Amino acid sequence: MAQGDDTTETGTEENLDRLNANLARMEELSKRMVAALGQKDLATDAGLTGPGQDFYMKAGSAYLNDMMTNPGKLIGHQVAYWGRALEHFTEAQKALAAGQLEMPEDEDVPDDPRFANPMWRTHPYFRLVRQQYELNADAINMAVKDLDGLDSKEKQRVEFFSRQIIDLFAPTNYLATNPDALQKAVETEGQSLVDGLENLVRDIEAHHGELLPTLSDPDAFTVGENIGATQGKVVFRNRMMELIQYAPLTEKVHKTPLVIFPPWINKFYILDLKPKNSLIRWVLEQGYTLFVVSWKNPDPSYADVGLEDYVEEGYVQAVETAKEITGEKQVNAVGYCIAGTTLSAALAWMQKRGDKSIKSATFFTTLTDFSDQGEFTVFLQDDFVDAIERQVTEKGILNSYFMSKTMSFLRARDLVYGPAVKSYMMGEAPPAFDLLYWNGDSTNLPGRMAVQYLRELCQKNALAEDGFKILGETVHLRDIKLPVMSIGTKTDHIAPWRQCFVGFEKFGSKDKTFIMSESGHIAGIVNPPSKKKYGHFTSGEMGQGPDAWEEAAEFHEGSWWPRWEAWLKKRSGAQVAARVPGESGHEILGDAPGTYVLEGSTS
């Protein structure tokens, strides 16, 4: 008996010691968090964190007008709301009063992964919390849907920011109303909460007082070692970019080299994550001499850099270098996202100048007509763009944090709140996921370029309408004459395929091919044939708009890569001996992936 008492006392002492250690750790972390929050730049323009006052005035006026002109509709909504809320409360109260901690499961519960725990459907308390949240969300959505007196863009903005509020106040986001987090806290004797606070402090410190969840284990990957590791050499460097020539993987290659221009909002190794899903490696395996641009991550000294600098010192210089190294008069080019938009301007400019250096061009998820701005509409109105202009005037750059935050909040459930719950309340470490690692490795934008892109291309839609002035020429999409292919992705929320198609149809080329891949902005492009995961659609219907194209489209199993390569092969000339970087006598500046990709990197 005495031995049992000793064991009990020992266990109690161990638990007490653990509790005291956790409390001390939480006190230390709390001090670090306060210090980290103090790093936040309080001078940051409020317009970058939310819409301007005009937005609230317009939305409020529209709602007030709706109340005054149609009070019956509002009263009807309120009666229905309070009736359902009272019904749910009464059910929960009866169950709890009877000591009943499990109720019959709800019927017709929405398929929402946030509420996968059975307690959301059977436990009186959590069931009431979920029901009330869903009821509140329905009430907000209905009020916004019925709101009159706003134009389509204003209505879209109200819907977007209402959705942000709904997602923010989900009960899963709070410890007291999250059964999974509470259960884990009990099971781990509070260790999960200590680990979660550790993760929270880490993220606030990493973002200098701002909060954005870390999506991938920052220590799991090293660019140039286990991602972005395809062999090659840096063969050119200037202030805008490094040009990488990759080592061949075949004995013979096509005469015409291929130059890929990735977006400079993120880094080029999205096309070279791992060997099994690397587009760069796959292109080499098909027998091409491949050059890829790695853009400089700009600092405030790049404040005056504009799109013309990207064209002249990036596109033109990369093409000239590839021609010089291979001895060819022409190259084929690829532009991805914003790099595709700028490629279209460069092609139109080259056409005006009589420069035929580019033989054909392929565009990945590229918007060139911004008459419909999709989900980005909410961020492309004057209040946000004015705030960005003030910010870059002061700082010289648009910091990568703002771009990451904007992209994340377009899919807040998956990229903000879901990861935050797992990291901060469950105390889980972020996964070792290469795609999410790349997603967090974003770059800054030069101040002038950012404003130029938003004002001229997005707001004024200059390329598709009145013309975009660049390097002494006014260029239009109709000026593009060479063979072109465009790849859109079916569920893309950044560059919706229909709008990609609308701009592509305005190209002056007679040889135009459009492909729609399944999935989204990244997964639809990084879709290797070996996975056999996403299919694609093709159609010969051009000139009648996206609806006619889609109606005539034929579905094909598997990746679009081989279909694109068959198209590219016809425009790439005969086979010649593979070209090894450096053998032409051109200076080698270092190994791939170069130095620019590591600047400001999370690696």
The number of residues in the chain equals 603
What SS3 state is found at 335?
Answer: strand
Which residue carries 């051109």 as its tokens?
Answer: 586
Complete DSSP assignment for 519-545? S-TTTTTS--GGG----EEE-S--SS-
State the DSSP H helix or E strand holding residue 497, giving kind and residue range, or none if neither.
helix 497-505
Phi and psi for 488 in degrees, rounded to 5? Answer: -105, 160
Q: CB–CB of 233/590 below 8 Å? A: yes
State the DSSP H helix or E strand holding residue 486, giving kind and residue range, or none if neither.
strand 484-489
Q: CB–CB of 82/63 below 8 Å? A: no
| Edge-to-edge order in the sheet of strand 331-336 | 554-556, 536-538, 512-517, 484-489, 358-364, 331-336, 258-261, 290-295, 241-246, 232-237, 590-591
Q: 486 forms bridges with which residues in the sheet? A: 363, 514
Q: CB–CB of 279/526 below 8 Å? A: yes
- How far apart (Å, rounded) are the C-alpha atoms in residues 425 and 417? 11
Phi and psi for 574 in degrees, rounded to 5? Answer: -75, 170
| Catalytic entry in 337, 358, 449, 592 | 337
CA-closest candidate to residue 295, choices 280, 281, 307: 307
- How far apart (Å, rounded) are the C-alpha atoms in residues 165 and 580? 55
- How far apart (Å, rounded) are the C-alpha atoms in residues 152 and 579? 54
Residue 500 annotated to the active site: no
CA-closest candidate to residue 161, choices 355, 381, 447: 381
Burial state string for 551-579 with b = 16 or more CB within 10 A and e = fewer than 16: eebeeeebbbbebbbebbeebbbeebebb
CA-closest candidate to residue 252, choices 571, 566, 572, 483: 572
CA-closest candidate to residue 208, choices 353, 24, 401, 48: 401
Token reading at 53: 């006052």
- How far apart (Å, rounded) are the C-alpha atoms in residues 71 and 81? 15
Residues with Cβ < 8 Å from 197, sequence gap 6 or more? 26, 29, 30, 33, 424
Helix, strand, coil percentages in the chain from 3-state DSSP, rounded to 5: 50, 10, 35
State the DSSP H helix or E strand holding residue 485, giving kind and residue range, or none if neither.
strand 484-489
Q: Which residues are catalytic?
A: 337
